């Protein structure tokens, strides 16, 4: 029976979503097995980063688990419903990444004075590049938590709820990310030699 469900995409996708809405974890696993490859490919094309694409996929399937009962067949197929979440999630993440880069550039441009311009190059450009590299070097989960906190203004409790993670995990990610940024950027944090 299980193989028959997986081999008939049109009817089985809706049946799987009904089971997922009833909190059937095997149905979610079956849906994941079916749609993870194209969903990961879609998110990867949009983001250009496999790790971030995997994060989007995790968020989307967590959301499917939580909201499968809200699927409306009149609005499209289960595949279209799920892949639109992947597309939107990847685009949102891309926008956050770009906002982070813009904010990084803006914050470095407006950093306190004291730049030594006597070496023939713009120190703020160097700082901006170092800051962008430091943020990009953070593990994806730490970068995501910091982005949500500082660029979307979410509290750590709200971040935990959005990501479906324990509050303690989010607090640790933000703290570790900020420590790594301070270590990578001592001049910007006022800890220069």
The tokens for 172 are 């640790």
Output Rg (C-alpha) for the chain, integer angstroms.
Answer: 21
User: Are both 1 and 91 inside the same structural domain?
Assistant: yes
Q: 3-state DSSP helix/strand/coil percent for the chain, to nearest 5?
A: 80, 0, 20
Round to the nearest angstrom and report the end-to-end CA distance of the chain.
68
Task: Specify the pLDDT at position 114.
Answer: 44
Give residue 91's domain range. 1-96
Tell me how far the alpha carbon of residue 100 is from its chain's centroid. Answer: 13
Per-residue pLDDT of the chain (193 residues; tens, 9 = 90+): 444 444 555 458 999 999 999 999 999 999 999 999 999 999 989 888 888 889 899 999 999 999 998 888 888 889 989 999 999 888 888 887 777 766 666 555 554 444 444 444 455 677 667 777 887 888 888 888 887 877 677 788 888 888 888 888 988 888 888 888 888 776 554 444 4
User: Are both 183 and 132 inside the same structural domain?
Assistant: yes
User: Are both 66 and 119 inside the same structural domain?
Assistant: no
Is the CB of residue 160 less than 8 Å from the CB of residue 169? yes
User: Are both 91 and 121 inside the same structural domain?
Assistant: no
pLDDT tens digit sequence for 110-150: 544 444 444 444 556 776 677 778 878 888 888 888 878 77
The tokens for 13 are 């996708």
User: Are both 32 and 122 inside the same structural domain?
Assistant: no
Identify the helix (H) or strand (E) that includes residue 170: helix 167-184
> Strand ranges (DSSP E) for the chain?
none
């Amino acid at each position: 029976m299980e193989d028959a469900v997986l081999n008939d995409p049109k009817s089985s996708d809706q049946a799987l979503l009904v089971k997922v809405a009833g909190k059937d974890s095997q149905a979610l696993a079956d849906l994941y097995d079916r749609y993870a490859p194209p969903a990961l490919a879609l998110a990867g094309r949009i983001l250009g980063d496999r790790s971030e694409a995997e994060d989007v996929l995790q968020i989307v399937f967590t959301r499917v688990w939580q909201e499968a009962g809200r699927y409306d067949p009149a609005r499209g197929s289960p595949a279209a419903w799920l892949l639109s979440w992947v597309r939107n999630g990847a685009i949102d993440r891309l926008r956050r990444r770009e906002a982070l880069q813009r904010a990084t550039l803006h914050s470095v441009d407006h950093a306190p004075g004291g730049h030594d311009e006597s070496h023939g190059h713009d120190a703020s450009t160097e700082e901006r590049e170092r800051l962008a590299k430091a943020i990009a070097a953070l593990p994806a989960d730490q970068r995501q938590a910091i982005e949500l906190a500082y660029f979307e203004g979410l509290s750590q409790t709200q971040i935990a709820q959005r990501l479906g993670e324990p509050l303690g995990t989010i607090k640790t990610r933000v703290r570790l990310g900020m420590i790594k940024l301070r270590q990578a950027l001592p001049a910007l944090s006022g800890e220069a030699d």
